Structure 1
């Protein structure tokens, strides 16, 4: 049974945090789906991930290509990832269900702490997952490093 980890971004941009977390997911041997809500924002993320960091390479692909099933990290707007993901990263408020949390190794929900709409979406996701009995953790970087602040 998996868990949902909520990451409240206040110090670092999404791309930097996502790159770090994707590296950890790859280290754990997980195939990942990065689920967004807007194709153009995923295309921008795709370009940013190809550009850096200089000290590492993050193999990934944008959904819709001929090799989606083989991608270790697949950027998608779809709830079904053809790469057999065991971990889903939700960005830009993409929906996540309690059933997914239970079925996957990990669900990571990243949200911009400086955006009121993103905060409200994340709060609603937390409440919904908690009400459904899903395991969840809330992580904050407010102090400058990641700290677990709450757990269900």
Structure 2
């Protein structure tokens, strides 16, 4: 994966089927996020549940994006429903901002730095892992079913 460009799947088109998938996925993702917040409420000092939800959701989106890039068999409505709908509603940067606005300056800054750093790292690591596993553990460009970059017509 090092040095190779990242090609993300195209954004879903606006269709009724995609709209319905995003709506249902969004409802389910938001419901799960709220449920986890009720079962594991954030402590008085730091929103650890919100941070965990955002990191897990970002890692899942990174892994799925990489999988969808390697295997283009998933229908567009499914990608829209899971990616934009479910994971978009499950991850909650609006709740992060509400905490930051009400927190002491140092704690709010810590939450922003941890959230951004951990989410980017989790998303990247998940994409790299799925890319690696999708290539059968071979270094980039050594997949038997794919030509070396620049060697094709």
User: Structure 1-normalised TM-score?
Assistant: 0.27
Highest Rg: 1 or 2?
2
User: Structure 2-normalised TM-score?
Assistant: 0.27
Q: Which structure has the highest helix share of the two?
A: 2
Q: Which structure has the highest strand share of the two?
A: 1
